[in-house]
Structure 1
Amino acid sequence: MATPDPAALSTLVLWLGFGLAVLLGATLQRSHFCSMGAVADILSFGDSTRARAFGLALAVAIAGFGLLSASGQIDPAGSFYTLPTLQWGSHLLGGLIFGAGMVLGSGCGARTLVRIGGGNLKSLVVFVVMGIAAQATLRGVTAVARDRSVDRLVVALPTRQDLPSLLQLGPSAQLALALGLAVVLAGLMLWRSRWKEVLPGALVGLLLVGQWWVSGHLGYLPEHPDTLEPAYLATASRAMEGYNFVSPAAFTLDWLTYFSDSNRVLTVGITISLGLMLGAGLSAWQSGQFRWESFRNPADLGRHLLGAVMMGVGGVTALGCSFGQGLSGLSTLAVGSLISTLAIIAGAWAMLRWEAARLERLA
């Protein structure tokens, strides 16, 4: 067997991740797929359409991840979501902060990139500030506070934190669990729903499954020729990666700022972010929806700046955003991802209620 070329394989992983992200960006832009919008629609209008699309995406992602795992295409242990250390404090507090922040910032990390592609300058500011806040929380001043507080609230589990491992299920039972949960969830999401508005969620889930395969199978080397150790190529976490849009904002700014530094290399998180933005931009331009948009007044600017900081701090602390934990993480059936996702929903719900009360007082 020929020895694989890590550099050439890394390039292929980056390009395929970029291509999938272009399709994802176009899908999100056309369907208005958004986790924050899903919560807002339920609270404001009693409309669960976008929540059902999100749930259908999750169902497809759970089934796809389960099938890839059962067939040996990927190893669930290769994801950082399934680590045996459950950082419940970080998941809880980070999720609450991120959820509230995405309301103030007019959307989650993925929606921010989609809006940039559509000409929204407010979202460009949110992306930059979110990236700076994420950098600080990864290895700066906020990182020190995080490390000395919530990151110490952990539970050491006897096995990985994904549900199949905790239940000590065999391969067949693991697949049955994943497919069973996916079928039940998909059925609930499609029952009495407006199918045309919900079905784009299935494509979002399929694209996530594709990214899991690219990162966890195509980009995996059982023995890297330089280190003689297992390696996942072109990932910042050195694990297989799905979709996440907070830490990659920090990595994107870092790569752009230190572009001439040979130690700064492209990773899948960066190419996915750029691909998502491009796909959304092409879709907005083709459909005639591209519009330049900026802040209405200083209060609007301040609101988005605060939301961006909260998303950067909260997303890193929670080990993922509403997309990273709510879809990528939950597709692995990780307990930590469930805690983060519920906390994000609670934070968004609380901030939406506070905003509604504030507007009523002003009226």
Structure 2
Amino acid sequence: MENLLEIYGEGAVLFALGGIVGLVFGAAAYQSKFCLRAATIEVAQGQFGSRLSIWLIAFCAAVFGVQFSIAMGWLSVADARQLANVGSLSGAIIGGLMFGVGMVLARGCASRLLVLSGTGNLRALVTGLVLTVVAQASLSGVLAPARVYLSGLWSIQGGSARDMLALIGLNASGAAALAGICFAGALVFAMKKLVPVSQYGAAVIVGLAVAGGWVGTYQIAQASFDVVSITSVTFTGPSADTLMALVTAPTVPMGFGLGLVPGVFVGAATAAALMSGLRIQRFGPDTPMERYLIGAFLMGFGSMLAGGCAVGAGMSGGAIFSLTAWVAVACMWLGAMGAKLVLDRPQAVTA
């Protein structure tokens, strides 16, 4: 690692790592049909089926991979922003609910939209671009004051106050064992639902890609003389950074997120091409643009408020047991299920 950093520099190595993780994640997410929105809809309809099993397998694999790596000494997440920095419970709650509603309206979360964009889905591409612009406006633009205000309603200190394992008195070995049991249960669940091995096997890879991001960036940070942020798979922030860098800077600074976003796109496109899944899809009467745009706005603002998207908070943050991440993903579930129930409610017939 030291030799790679000396020859190519931290930025290039992080970019390459992000690209590799993105390729793996994108291809596996396409193959597995990994999607939080689909899982929440199944639960809202009382149908505990294949999409729920896929999400559970990916989530449990991510938690097991991260906590096992910590127990083995390959990883430390004490300096990760989701644990070390001051957090916001109000942001996690409000932003999580907004994101959950938004992903139902837009028919996909940030990661799913990126994966679908790689297959030729123009609805997902346009929605993802709007989401990215709104996220940037929420971070440092016209929507930033509203985000700061809502985040400040209920803040929480970093360190042990945000570490769920410290709060419940469980170490990484215990967390890995618990995740392993849940992972085995999720596999049995998938088998009972007759999910193809190729599909739930790919879901395992989705989860392990999240763990790989944490371990890889930590190893680079340990070997580097410069300060390197420990991070993993997340989409809203890196997508906004990538878009803004492309349209505002003649040269783009290398980094993990900059490699991740195109990596996922290429990985999904490659998998779709190999499986004859490339197909142009446009907006139509049954897929009204205004619904997608409202969803994009809610997800863009909600993800910045919640501290991450369905993968950034729900998977990467959840795998390191960040309290705010678990609250955010729980609210994403609630928001999505509530939105689905409201949208499916029979309309009153008027005379």
1:109 maps to 110
Give the direction of change, closer, same or farther, for the CA distance of 1:152–1:47 in structure 2 (3 Å limit): closer
Pair 1:272 & 2:260 matched: yes
Give 1:52 deviation, angstroms.
1.8
SS in 2 for 1:76: coil
- Return the TM-score normalized by structure 2: 0.90
Q: How big is the alpha-carbon RMSD for the aligned residues of Structure 1 and Structure 2?
A: 2.4
**Could you list the runs of 4 or more consecutive aligned residues of structure 1 that deviate by over 4 angstroms after TM superposition?**
1-4, 358-362
Pair 1:211 & 2:208 matched: no
Give 1:107 deviation, angstroms.
0.2
CA offset digits 1:254-300 (Å, max 9, x no partner): 0110231x5x4133222211111111111111211111011104971
1:252 maps to 242
1:188 maps to 185
Q: 1:53 touches 1:199 (CA, 8 Å); kept in 2?
A: no
2:23 maps to 22
Give 1:210 deviation, angstroms.
1.2
Q: 1:13 touches 1:219 (CA, 8 Å); kept in 2?
A: no
Q: Which runs of structure 2 are paired with 1:94-133 in the superposition (5 Å)?
A: 94-133=95-134
SS in 1 for 2:279: coil
- Return the TM-score normalized by structure 1: 0.87
Give 1:72 deviation, angstroms.
2.9
Give 1:11 deviation, angstroms.
0.9
2:202 maps to 200
Q: Which runs of structure 2 are paired with 1:9-158 in the superposition (5 Å)?
A: 9-44=10-45, 46-83=47-84, 85-156=86-157
Give the direction of change, closer, same or farther, for the CA distance of 1:113–1:176 in structure 2 (3 Å limit): same
Q: 1:91 touches 1:317 (CA, 8 Å); kept in 2?
A: yes
* Segment of structure 1 superposing worse, 187-196 or 47-56: 187-196
Q: 2:123 touches 2:283 (CA, 8 Å); kept in 1?
A: yes
Q: 1:84 touches 1:160 (CA, 8 Å); kept in 2?
A: no
Give the direction of change, closer, same or farther, for the CA distance of 1:115–1:2 in structure 2 (3 Å limit): closer
CA offset digits 1:215-247 (Å, max 9, x no partner): 1112444642xxxxxx11xxxxxx211111111
Q: Which of 310, 314, 321 pairs up with 1:326?
A: 314
Q: 1:59 touches 1:182 (CA, 8 Å); kept in 2?
A: yes
Q: Which of 293, 313, 320 pairs up with 2:301?
A: 313
Whole-angstrom CA distance in 2 between matches of 1:131 and 1:349 = 24
Q: 2:14 touches 2:255 (CA, 8 Å); kept in 1?
A: no
Give 1:33 deviation, angstroms.
1.0
Pair 1:352 & 2:340 matched: yes
Aligned residue pairs, count: 344
Q: Which runs of 5+ in 2 are unaligned?
A: none
Q: 1:84 touches 1:159 (CA, 8 Å); kept in 2?
A: no
Give the direction of change, closer, same or farther, for the CA distance of 1:222–1:266 in structure 2 (3 Å limit): closer
Give the direction of change, closer, same or farther, for the CA distance of 1:317–1:302 in structure 2 (3 Å limit): same
